[in-house]
Structure 1
Amino acid sequence: MDALHEGWRQAVEAARGGAVYRALADAIAADIATGRLAPGAALPPQRRLAWGLGVAIATVTRAYDELSARGLVTAEVGRGTRVGRRRRADDGVIAPREAARPRRRRETSAEAEDETALIDLSLAQPADPAAAAALSRTLAALAAAPQAAELLAYQPARGAARHRAAGAAWLGRAGWSPDPARVTVTAGAQHALVVALAAIAAPGEAVAVEGLANPSI
Structure 2
Amino acid sequence: MTMWIPTIAADAGPIYLAIADALEADIGSGTLAQGDRLPPQRELAYQLGVTLGTVTRAYGEAERRRLVRGETGRGTYVASRTRVVSPLIPQEDAPEGCDLARNFAYPHLNPSLGEGLTRMAGTAGIDRLNGFVPSEGLRAHRETGVLVFKDYGLDADPARVAVTCGAQHGIQVTCQALFRSGDAIAVDRFTYPSIFTSLAGLGLKAVPVPALTREDGGFGAMDPEALARAVGSHGIKGVFLMPNMQNPTTHTMSVG
Return the TM-score normalized by structure 1. 0.40
Return the TM-score normalized by structure 2. 0.35
Taking CA–CA contacts closer than 8 Å with sequence separation of 6 or more, which of the two structures ends up with the larger relative contact order? 1
Q: Whose strand proportion is higher, 1 or 2?
A: 2
Q: Whose helix proportion is higher, 1 or 2?
A: 1
